């Protein structure tokens, strides 16, 4: 019996690789003869580099609050850089009381790109999940040489709020090496830059914004979009995914001429995962929470759809099962299990996530091992 274990991270608790190893441990604890193939997955957020591999390059950059940190990016086949924006501008780099999209910046993400350019890299795959920012990627572009000026032709401050002071965008000093570079944006979010489905109104609250902050950020990002639209003769808000990662998507697509590709599709391709699933007997996937939002391109859904294509059962495992998941069964999930085995707080669930994930995996495989034996 061959089982594919392809899990995304359980944010704040387990990386995708850690989660895959625990599921394998649960399976092997009772059935050592089962062939378990681990493929950690990501939709472009945390763990994206881990899911593809490559040589890690460490560099000192600025975190979302402009503090020095040591981060890294990956290089694959000596020619492609894997940039994970969450390692430079992500929520996991901040304590909860530090989250403030009014002032957080994507500057460090630009520094990662710049270092790769200095090493001769011209092909980029940039994962943009898990951001702590709402600056429309302006910080990243500043690090790459672009200038964002106020009415007095002075540089504006970093952060989402400062875009309210923006009066002029100067792209003439943008690093010229970017003109010969190719950028693929790994992302599962299709939100617009502003509006009811935009970056500020949908995602800013989870990054620490109050209702008042959201209004400030919304006006700021609209101001930025209007100036950028006039500068480039485009309609930024009509670009699918322009609101991803606090608007970073707009900068990568409109300014750096990037193209969007679902993170899970990149992971499937780079890991030859379709062929592995086609020849398997069971697929186990999942992440911290599975709910109605999973149907909008989340990584586990991509795995479930692939399993359905080849008639392979796909089991979802998560910490929390949200509402309105019925559509997910139509899309490819055979069933969905929570790791929770008794009433407990979120804090305790995260503390006990390792044993909980291992135990639920053991319970699941008992069912399928029996069915597989009878079928054989």
Which of residues 238, 261, 284 is at a domain's end?
261
Give the position of tokens 């590709």: 261
Averaged pLDDT, groups of 10, the chain, 376 residues long? 93 87 94 93 83 92 98 94 96 94 98 98 94 97 98 97 98 96 90 94 94 97 97 93 94 95 87 94 94 81 94 95 91 95 86 93 89 71
**CB-based contacts of 252, cutoff 8 Å, min separation 6:** 126, 128, 137, 183, 185, 258
pLDDT score for 347: 85
Q: Is 333 left (phi over 0), alpha (psi -120 to 50) or beta?
A: beta
Residue 116 lies in a domain: yes
Note whether 336 and 352 are same-domain residues: yes
CATH of the domain at 33: 3.40.50.10350
pLDDT score for 262: 86
Note whether 130 and 194 are same-domain residues: yes
Segment 115-159, tens digit of pLDDT: 999 999 999 999 998 899 999 999 999 999 999 999 999 999 999
- Residue 147: give the domain boundaries: 48-261
Note whether 230 and 125 are same-domain residues: yes
Four-point Cα dihedral 121, 126, 131, 137, nearest 10 = 70
Note whether 252 and 149 are same-domain residues: yes
How many domains does the chain fold into? 2
CA 258 – CA 181 distance, rounded (Å): 9
Residue 267 lies in a domain: no
Cβ proximity of 204 and 243 under 8 Å: no
Note whether 102 and 205 are same-domain residues: yes
Residue 142 lies in a domain: yes
Note whether 338 and 210 are same-domain residues: no
Element (H, E) at 33: none
Note whether 143 and 110 are same-domain residues: yes
Query: Residue 352: phi, psi to the nearest 5?
Result: -100, 15
Note whether 277 and 246 are same-domain residues: no
Note whether 222 and 289 are same-domain residues: no
User: Burial of 77 by CB count in 10 Å (0-12 exposed, 13-18 middle, 19+ buried)?
Assistant: exposed
Q: Reduced to 3 DSSP states, what percent helix, strand and coil does the chain have, rounded to the nearest 5?
A: 45, 20, 35
Note whether 28 and 158 are same-domain residues: no
pTM of the model: 0.85
Per the document, the length of the chain is 376
pLDDT score for 253: 95
pLDDT score for 376: 61
Note whether 170 and 290 are same-domain residues: no
């Amino acid at each position: 019996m061959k089982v594919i274990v392809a899990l995304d991270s359980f944010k704040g608790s387990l990386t995708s690789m850690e989660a895959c190893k625990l599921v394998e441990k649960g399976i092997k604890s009772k059935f050592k003869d089962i062939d378990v193939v681990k493929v950690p997955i990501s939709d472009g957020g945390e763990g994206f580099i881990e899911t593809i591999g490559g040589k890690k390059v460490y560099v000192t950059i600025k975190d979302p609050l402009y503090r020095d940190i040591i981060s890294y990016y990956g290089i694959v086949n000596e020619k492609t850089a894997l940039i994970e924006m969450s390692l430079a501008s992500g929520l996991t780099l901040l304590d909860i009381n530090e989250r403030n999209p009014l002032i957080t910046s994507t500057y460090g993400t630009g520094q990662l790109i710049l270092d790769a350019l200095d090493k001769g890299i011209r092909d980029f795959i940039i994962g943009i999940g898990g951001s702590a920012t709402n600056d429309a990627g302006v910080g990243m572009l500043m690090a790459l040489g672009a200038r964002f000026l106020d009415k007095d032709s002075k540089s504006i401050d970093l952060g989402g709020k400062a875009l309210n002071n923006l009066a002029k965008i100067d792209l003439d000093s943008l690093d010229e090496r970017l003109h010969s570079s190719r950028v693929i944006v790994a992302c599962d979010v299709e939100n617009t830059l502003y509006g009811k489905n935009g970056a500020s109104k949908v995602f800013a609250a989870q990054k620490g914004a109050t209702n008042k902050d959201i209004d400030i950020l919304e006006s700021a990002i609209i101001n930025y979009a209007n100036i950028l639209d006039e500068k480039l003769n485009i309609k930024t808000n009509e670009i699918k995914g322009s609101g991803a990662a606090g608007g970073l998507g707009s900068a990568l697509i409109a300014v750096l001429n990037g193209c969007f590709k679902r993170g899970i599709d990149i992971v499937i391709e780079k890991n030859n995962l379709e062929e592995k699933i086609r020849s398997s007997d069971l697929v186990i996937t999942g992440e911290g929470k599975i709910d109605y939002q999973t149907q909008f391109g989340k990584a586990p859904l991509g795995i479930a759809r692939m399993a359905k294509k080849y008639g392979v059962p796909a089991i979802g495992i998560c910490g929390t099962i949200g509402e309105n998941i019925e559509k997910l069964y139509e899309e490819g999930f055979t069933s969905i299990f929570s790791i929770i085995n008794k009433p407990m707080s979120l804090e305790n669930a995260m503390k006990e996530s390792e044993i909980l994930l291992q135990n639920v995996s053991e319970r699941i495989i008992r069912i399928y091992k029996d069915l597989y034996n009878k079928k054989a």
